[in-house]
Structure 1
Amino acid sequence: MTTWPALGHEELEWTSRYAEVGVRAARRAALSERYRAAVPPMIAALPLVLDDELGVLVDEAATALVRFDGELGARVAPFSSLLLRSEAAASSQIEHLTASARQVFTAEIGAPGKRNAREIVSNTRAMRTAVELSDALTTDTVLAMHRVLMADDPHHEAGCFRQEAVWVGTSARSPVGADFVAPAWGRVPALVEDVMSFARRVDIPRLAQVAVAHAQFETVHPFTDGNGRTGRALLQAMLRSNELTQNVTVPVSAGLLTDTDGYVAALTAYRRGDIAPIIRGVCDAVFVAVANARRLVDDIEEIRRGWSGRVTARRDSGVWSALDVVVRQPVLNATVLAAEMGVEPRNAYPHIQKLVESGILVSKNEYRHGVLYRNDEILQALDAFAARAGKRG
């Protein structure tokens, strides 16, 4: 295993943002509190050489990704969007943001709902942006992903690097004594530029490169919030850029979710100069994600086959296209169905009625949002996927 430089540190002075008055406050100010902030190494040109055992694991995981992506290539339409949403939901769950598939799809079409569901929708958009921008792994790509992710959050500046200290542990009011203090904000632009240069290299094992770039990005922690979700969106962009995935978003975050403690420990080990745990963790996550996603695909295809026997219509009826829309959008209204089918909303209603009569769609009148229709079979399959992702072992 190649030697990887550990974090350095620098001492900085802390000035509280909170107004404090009185004798005790004056005495504290006189002490001039100082804290240690991380100083990550520049990694753009560092060699990345793996020992034989880890190199084999990286190759096997990369092969599993390519094979799974290729298997779905010919039947990708319903699964690309579902797997991307599943990845966004799993990435959010690592940040303790959870919601059912029904809540997420309902929020996606604009109906009022719980805040977590809306944040997962924002994460889905960030994931989609990451994939769309994967041909250009630059600082602007990172800012664009964060801008989409945090667009609806009034408490944080979307698409802008932080200009304040961020830290983990101890008091929320001060970084003094914190478990980890991210680099000083003035270092952030150069560090992100450096990690994106590393991400564009073509001379190192691809999946190991993805894992290390992700760990370095999380160490830099360039934003006041959304770093984890942005970093995992970047991971997906790198998978696509490295041509490990071309058709679908493999839900690697769902693999990481099976051992979140191990994931955090691997990031900590990376900061000590040991890159093996994060590389191994990402590889293991790939195997888990592929197995879980393959089961989801099988479940959904079985559900879709079952619908064919429940609907009676001519071969050229638009209801068959409507069924395909329901597979990838299991909560919808007439406007959504019409847009997906490329027809006028008035022409979508007969298809909806047919699917309601067949028991494939059920309706619910949402307050201030009209009637929504849903398919519980697809939603249950997606919730089962999420439940499997959250299991340990």
Structure 2
Amino acid sequence: MSARLDLDWQPHRYEVRPWQQRSARGPRIDRTVREIRVSLPPLIRDLDYPMDRPLAAMTQACAGDLGHLDLVHGRTLRALNHLQLRTESVDSSKIENVDASLADYGRALLGVGANASAISMASATAALTRMIRDADATRRIRSEAILAAHHDLFRRNASEAHRAGTYRTTQNWVGGSDYSPRDALHVPPPPETVPDYLDDLFAFANRDDLPPVVQAAIVHAQFESIHPFIDGNGRIGRTLIHAVLRRRRATRHLTVPIASALVAHRERYFAALNDYRAGNARTIVAMLAVAIRIATSESWKAATDVVEIREAWGERAGSPRAGTPLFRLLDLLTEEPIANLALVRERLHLGEDDARAALAQALDARVLVKAPRSRRAPVWLARDVLDEVEDLSTRIVAGSRALRSD
């Protein structure tokens, strides 16, 4: 755990509860566990968070930077938001040790053949998109949206599909043994308490009298402490950060890849959640503020890069006239850098012959390359944009590590 600070938040309480293992599997020591120590978070709906001046300045500054980026590029550069969404989903999955190539991830987004990790990453993108859109449309953080996002995350997972979109009804735990909460790092509250804890959390998340960055950090940490799902809590919990920021209009169009900064310090991130449970919320609030600051700064460069990529494509493709299928395809590829014939026809409202001709022209101009292992169901990659997805993540990770080492 990180260095202990003075308490600035109500710490979790702990209670000893009886335990009986339901399965006979696992080592004998797990089958002999009779008691567990569960964590009981505070109720937070009416709590305020007093900040010292440096932390208040940090959260205000990062929110201002985020709002400026959104104001300048949010309406005019839709491609930047698509790029950010992909970067955020990929790196949020990496925190959970789920990783795949961008080509496989793209195939999963298109619904064509992909491995389990790629499907999981694509499902995380769908969950994130749903949460942000719902918060934007309803101006609320809603249980219905969280359950739908969880369903998006696991509906394509054969072993978890039966639990997709449902809160847990059994005790879970983090770390330790696979068979019992023995030596667990965190044992969340009992399942019968989850509905009341979530009602309390939603009440806090829908307040308008807290700084948005502080509110997002605490909502995330409280959600992770409640751990209301058997699996997927981390990825859904990180979508909540973006949902709160969108609901509070800290950002109206863009989704900066905060997870890219968190994955740079995975152990520190988990330690910050433990600090929150100990009554030190400052650690996670400060960590989120720094993550937003770095992700926002690097997204400015990404915005410039996307514009330059599109201009270079136009030159390589012979400067097609506005409104032609090729011109429109080049615009689309800045948002959808992994495409197949069906996507191009659907998004550009083209017949099959026109869509094929535009793809062939983009291929000839070296805007596109054919994805490996896509002979039967061809998939094309806009490598320049995919490289920018990877580069944005790399820059944020590097910036986070450099800042920590200063």
**Structures share fold, TM-score greater than 0.5:** yes
Matches within 5 A, 1:16-31: 16-19=21-24
Q: Structure 1 residue 373 and structure 2 residue 374: aligned?
A: no
Conserved 8 A contact 2:89-2:128: yes
Tell me, yes or no, if the aligned pair for 2:91 and 2:259 is still in contact at 8 Å. yes
Q: Give unmatched runs, 5+ long, in structure 2.
A: 1-5
Residue in 1 that maps onto 2:11? 6
Question: Which residue, out of 133, 138, 161, partners 2:142?
Answer: 138
Q: Distance in 2 between matches of 1:360 and 1:271?
A: 50
1: CA distance, partners of 2:38 / 2:106: 41
Residue 142 of structure 1 deviates from its aligned partner by 1.7
Query: How many residue pairs were aligned?
Result: 389
Residues 304-323 of structure 1 aligned to structure 2 (within 5 Å): 304-312=310-318, 313-323=320-330
Aligned residue for 1:348? Answer: 355
Deviations 1:65-124 (A, max 9, x none): 111111212422212222112111111111111223222112211221222111010000
Q: What is the 5 A alignment of 1:277-316?
A: 277-312=283-318, 313-316=320-323
Q: TM-score, normalised by structure 2?
A: 0.90
1:147 aligns with 2:154: no
CA 1:304–1:367 in 2, change beyond 3 Å: closer, same or farther?
Answer: closer
Show the counterpart of 2:95: 94
Match of 1:336 among 330, 338, 343: 343
The answer for the alignment partner of 1:256 in structure 2 is 262
Query: 1:28–1:373: structure 2 CA closer, same or farther, 3 Å change rule?
Result: closer
The letter of the residue matching 1:286 is I
Does structure 1 residue 273 correspond to structure 2 residue 279? yes
Match of 1:234 in 2: 240
Q: CA deviation digits over 1:162-201, x for unaligned, max 9?
A: 1112112322111134221111111111111111110001
- Counterpart in 1 of 2:3? none
Q: Partners of 2:265 and 2:166 in 1: how far apart?
A: 31
Aligned to 2:64: 63
SS in 2 for 1:180: coil
Cα distance in 2, alignment partners of residues 203 and 73 from structure 1: 25
**CA, structure 1 residues 76+300, in 2 after alignment: closer, same or farther (shift >3 Å)?**
closer
Range moving further from structure 2, 62-71 or 343-352: 343-352
Deviation at 1:357, TM superposition (A): 1.7
Q: Partner residue of 1:43?
A: 44
Corresponding residue number in structure 2 for 1:361: 368
| CA distance in 2 between partners of 1:123 and 1:316 (Å) | 33
Query: Cα offset for 1:297?
Result: 2.2
Amino acid at match of 1:275: A
CA RMSD of aligned residues (A): 2.1
Asked whether the equivalents of residues 100 and 383 of structure 1 are also in contact (C-alpha less than 8 Å), the reply is no
| Structure 1 residues without counterparts, runs of 5 or longer | none
The answer to whether the 8 Å contact 2:105/2:119 transfers is: yes
Task: Name the % identity.
Answer: 28
Indicate if the aligned counterparts of 1:138 and 1:197 stay in contact, CA closer than 8 A.
no
In structure 2, distance between residues paired with 1:329 and 1:249: 16
